[in-house]
């Protein structure tokens, strides 16, 4: 990064939280980390580094965030903007923060888009979204990522077993994503897609709904959000950010591509092409094409499996119904789904416990 790059000091006793914020912000800022308030003050008061802002956790042992703010003020170092990290912006925290004229709050769990929006507004700059890096994947990168995926899959399958479910839906979604991405690559001649990247994107799709692990079972048992009270629905919608944060816990450089893609799928699989989805109301190409394809495949599979039979005619009926749901999906991706009909039907034939009829 050049000398004009803004420098951010992240102060948090949690290595995981520092790593998550660093992953989100490192594409736009030079990141410096401090694991406690004393280390932060040493950096701030030395004035050897020209800091653009400090991102400071409120809850830390021995010297908490407010103690750091007080000492910054006492030592006339309070000219550096400070953003506080908090799990909950309580009335007491807001009032105390106002005494030190802090620039704002970042709430846990971190939402990459929200964090980037806050920093871009603070500095009045356009920041690059936290998208997956496109550097070539080395053999070591792929090996370490696949090891991580295997461990994550064991955890997820264990959770599904505990709630008397299985992973068949997620396996089908993963396979469909791979099929459609291969056709997408052929039609667009995309230079960023090769077999290795496509494989990791498809594996990421398997975990798109992993955030539901953190939602209370009594809420999940009600099914879709429209069966819940307003307060329950609000809790349910947090599964998007919670899933993304589970994936962001992995701060390994080798796993960075998978982490970016998978976290994006977790966070934005409920977005709509017309911008009427959640949590951020992304529209059009604001949502990555990988996540759009994942969402389409997940929606299709649930609708297709709800039919009395899974055959060619039912495929057409579901695909037509989806294409008529104005604004939900990109029409070009819907057409790509239909183009891949035979290959996708093959998934259901191979995984079905009863014979399927290809044509009807």
Domain count, the chain: 2
Query: Does position 289 have pLDDT exceeding 70, yes or no?
Result: yes
Tell me what pLDDT residue 170 has.
Answer: 97
At residue 87, what are phi and psi to the nearest 5 degrees? -75, -25
Q: Could you tell me if residue 132 is inside a domain?
A: no
CATH number of the CATH domain containing 57: 3.40.50.2300
Based on the fold, state whether residues 196 and 312 are members of the same structural domain: yes
Q: In which residue are the tokens 């029409």 written?
A: 331
C-alpha distance from residue 157 to each of 152, 165, 213, 214 (Å)? 9, 9, 11, 14
- 8 A C-beta contact, residue 80 and residue 103: no
Based on the fold, state whether residues 328 and 257 are members of the same structural domain: yes
Among 69, 89, 123, which residue terminates a domain? 123
Q: Could you tell me if residue 205 is inside a domain?
A: yes
- 8 A C-beta contact, residue 268 and residue 129: no
CATH number of the CATH domain containing 183: 1.10.3210.10
Percent of the chain residues past pLDDT 90, beyond the cut: 53
Q: Could you tell me if residue 188 is inside a domain?
A: yes
Based on the fold, state whether residues 170 and 31 are members of the same structural domain: no
Cα–Cα distance, 207 to 147 (Å, whole number):
15
- Given its phi and psi angles, is residue 133 left (phi above 0), alpha (psi -120 to 50 degrees) or beta? beta
Based on the fold, state whether residues 113 and 148 are members of the same structural domain: no
Tell me what pLDDT residue 358 has.
Answer: 43
Based on the fold, state whether residues 96 and 33 are members of the same structural domain: yes
Based on the fold, state whether residues 95 and 17 are members of the same structural domain: yes
Query: Does position 313 have pLDDT exceeding 90, yes or no?
Result: yes
Based on the fold, state whether residues 61 and 188 are members of the same structural domain: no
- How many CA atoms does the CB half-sphere of 273 hold within 13 Å? 18
Based on the fold, state whether residues 275 and 330 are members of the same structural domain: yes
Q: Could you tell me if residue 347 is inside a domain?
A: yes
Based on the fold, state whether residues 94 and 36 are members of the same structural domain: yes
Q: Could you tell me if residue 134 is inside a domain?
A: no
Based on the fold, state whether residues 112 and 154 are members of the same structural domain: no
Q: In which residue are the tokens 């962001």 written?
A: 248
Tell me what pLDDT residue 354 has.
Answer: 47
Q: Could you tell me if residue 360 is inside a domain?
A: no
Higher per-residue pLDDT: 182 or 89: 182
What mean pLDDT is predicted for residues 319-346?
94
Where are the alpha helices (H) located in the chain, listed in sequence order?
Answer: 15-25, 37-46, 65-74, 91-99, 112-123, 139-162, 168-188, 195-205, 217-220, 230-237, 239-248, 256-268, 289-305, 312-324, 331-339, 341-351
Q: Could you tell me if residue 334 is inside a domain?
A: yes
Q: How confident is the model at residue 349 (pLDDT cuts 50, 70, 90)?
A: confident
Query: Does position 130 have pLDDT exceeding 60, yes or no?
Result: no
Percent of the chain residues past pLDDT 70, beyond the cut: 92
What mean pLDDT is predicted for residues 338-343?
96
Based on the fold, state whether residues 63 and 146 are members of the same structural domain: no
Cα–Cα distance, 25 to 130 (Å, whole number):
8
pLDDT for 141-152, tens place per residue? 999 999 999 999
What mean pLDDT is predicted for residues 270-279?
93
Based on the fold, state whether residues 118 and 146 are members of the same structural domain: no
Query: Does position 255 have pLDDT exceeding 50, yes or no?
Result: yes
pLDDT for 167-224, tens place per residue? 999 999 999 999 999 999 988 876 678 899 999 999 999 999 999 999 988 888 876 6
Cα–Cα distance, 57 to 36 (Å, whole number):
9
Among 92, 123, 154, which residue terminates a domain? 123
Q: Could you tell me if residue 92 is inside a domain?
A: yes
Enclosing domain of residue 265: 139-351
């Amino acid at each position: 990064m050049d000398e004009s790059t803004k420098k951010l000091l992240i102060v948090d006793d949690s290595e995981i939280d520092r790593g998550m914020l660093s992953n989100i912000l490192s594409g736009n800022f030079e990141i410096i980390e401090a694991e406690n308030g004393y280390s932060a003050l040493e950096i701030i008061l030395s004035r050897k580094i020209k800091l653009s802002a400090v991102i400071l956790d409120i809850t830390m042992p021995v010297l908490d965030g407010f103690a750091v703010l007080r000492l910054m003020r006492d030592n006339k170092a309070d000219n550096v903007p400070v953003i506080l990290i908090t799990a909950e912006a309580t009335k007491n925290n807001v009032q105390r923060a106002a005494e030190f004229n802090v620039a704002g709050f970042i709430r846990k769990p971190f939402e990459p888009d929200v964090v980037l929006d806050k920093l871009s507004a603070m500095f009045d700059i356009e920041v690059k979204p936290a998208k997956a890096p496109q550097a070539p994947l080395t053999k070591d990168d792929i090996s370490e990522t696949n090891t991580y995926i295997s461990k994550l899959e064991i955890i997820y399958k264990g959770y599904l077993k505990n709630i008397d479910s299985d992973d068949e839906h997620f396996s089908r979604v993963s396979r469909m994503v791979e099929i459609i991405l291969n056709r997408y690559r052929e039609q667009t001649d995309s230079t960023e897609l090769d077999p290795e990247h496509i494989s990791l994107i498809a594996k990421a799709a398997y975990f798109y709904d992993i955030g539901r692990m953190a939602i209370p079972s009594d809420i999940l048992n009600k099914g879709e959000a429209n069966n819940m009270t307003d307060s329950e629905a609000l809790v349910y919608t947090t599964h998007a950010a919670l899933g993304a944060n589970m994936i962001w816990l992995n701060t390994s450089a080798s796993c960075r591509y998978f982490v970016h893609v998978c976290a994006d799928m977790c966070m934005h699989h409920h977005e709509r092409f017309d911008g009427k989805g959640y949590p951020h109301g992304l529209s059009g190409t604001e949502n990555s094409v990988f996540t759009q394809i994942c969402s389409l495949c997940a929606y299709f599979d649930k609708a297709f499996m709800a039919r009395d039979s899974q055959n060619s005619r039912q495929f057409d009926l579901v695909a037509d119904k989806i294409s008529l749901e104005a604004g939900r999906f990109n029409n070009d991706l819907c057409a790509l789904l239909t183009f891949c009909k035979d290959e996708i039907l093959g998934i259901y034939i191979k995984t079905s416990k009863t014979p399927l009829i290809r044509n009807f």
